[in-house]
Structure 1
Amino acid sequence: MRNTDFDFLTGAWTSHQRRLVKILDGSDEWYGFDATLDCQVLLDGNGVFDVLRSPERDLEGITLRLYNPDEKTWRIWWASKTSGGMLDEPVVGRFEDNVGTFECDDTWNGQAIRVRYRWTAVDPEHPRWEQSFSPDGGQTWEVNWTAEFARRTG
């Protein structure tokens, strides 16, 4: 049976990205930038690969998503051109009610954290993604990166 969870993301996108200037520092100062995303859904819906690019920020990164039908969970890895050829620790989760929530334990600047990605696919023409960190095992969360997408035309 074909997995359709990430079908909404297939194709070419423009996006506006926002990131906190200082993460886990009590900052509320953000900077924004534009980016493109090119996404393919593969492996009968069980694999998703995309490339995010922002020339203005000298940012290029890839995301690999793989679905395990036995566990009914996704694993999502991120790597950027500054990550030294390494994939980040995968966030793990699933979609419920058109919202995908994916989490893992990781570190940020030597501090143990919980990472959460959240996709809201309620409007497949304008999906939204956010990344949050929790320094206290998921009791409180700081959103530190958001992205809003619109389909590229032409």
Structure 2
Amino acid sequence: MRDGQHDFDFNIGVWHTHIKRILDPFASSSASVELNGTVTVRKVWDGKAELEEIEADGPKGHWEGLTLFLYNPSAHQWTQSFANSKVGTLSSNIGEFKDGRVVLIGQDNSVYDKTILVKAMWSNIKPDSHQYEESYSNDGGTTWVRSFTANLTRLKQ
């Protein structure tokens, strides 16, 4: 197996983010909210971890998020642990870099009355831009609906 310790190196730096969040991706309506902000990512533990801070503003005010990425060298996988300043709970996803993108999957019970699956994906990875998106599944992964998209452009290394 290849060593994936540097899979998230592309994410290190300061980024402008434009976020589009679907308010209820399981509803038939497509109401959404858009936010703009800054994402700051720094390397921890010589690249075996990264700490990401997100600050964005939109029609409902200021929002912040905090993400810890940890690399497990024996499993060759990454874990993403995320806390949302508005909800105050921690969710985790796990997965790996494959075919030019990172896909991490986990469970979340902070948004709906029941536990759903969450798929986090980084794609279109270039030196000065990339895309992050989340999709939700409430049927065990049979179908997925996009709930969140962030387009990031580099402000500085």
Structure-1-length-normalised TM-score: 0.90
Counterparts of 1:11-26 in structure 2 under 5 Å?
11-26=13-28
Alignment partners' CA distance in 1, 2:131 and 2:107: 23
- SS state of the match for residue 125, structure 2? coil
Q: Secondary structure in 1 aligned to 2:7?
A: coil
Selected match of 1:42 from 41, 44, 50: 44
Q: Distance in 1 between matches of 2:147 and 2:84?
A: 17
Higher strand fraction (1 or 2): 2
* Cross-structure match for 2:119: 116
The match for 2:146 is: 143
Structure 1 ranges of 4+ moved more than 6 A: none
Residue 55 to residue 31, structure 1, CA distance change in 2 (3 Å): closer
**Which position in structure 2 is the counterpart of 1:8?**
10
Flag structure 2 segments of 5+ consecutive residues without an equivalent. Answer: none
Q: Which stretch shows the higher mean deviation, 16-25 or 1-10?
A: 1-10
Alignment correspondent of 1:71:
75
Q: Could you tell me the percent identity over the aligned residues?
A: 28
Letter of the 1:41 partner, please give it.
K
Paired letter, 1:104: G
Post-superposition shift, 1:122? 2.9
Report the alpha carbon displacement of residue 121 of structure 1 after superposing the two structures with TM.
4.7
Q: Unaligned stretches of 5+ in structure 1?
A: none
Question: 65-74 or 102-111, which moves further after superposition?
Answer: 102-111
Instruction: Look up the SS of the partner of 2:126 in the other structure.
Output: coil
Q: Is the 8 A contact 2:4 2:77 kept in 1?
A: no
The aligned amino acid for 1:130 is: E
Q: CA deviation at 1:106?
A: 2.5
Q: Is 96-105 or 61-70 further displaced after alignment?
A: 96-105
**Distance 1:145-1:2 versus aligned 2 partners, 3 A rule:** closer
| AA of the residue aligned to 1:133 | Y
Whole-angstrom CA distance in 2 between matches of 1:111 and 1:151: 37
Superposed displacement of residue 42, structure 1: 1.7
1:2 CA displacement: 8.1
The number of equivalent residue pairs is 151
Question: In the TM superposition, what is the alpha-carbon distance from 1:33 to its structure 2 partner?
Answer: 1.6
Query: What is the match of residue 128 of structure 1?
Result: 131
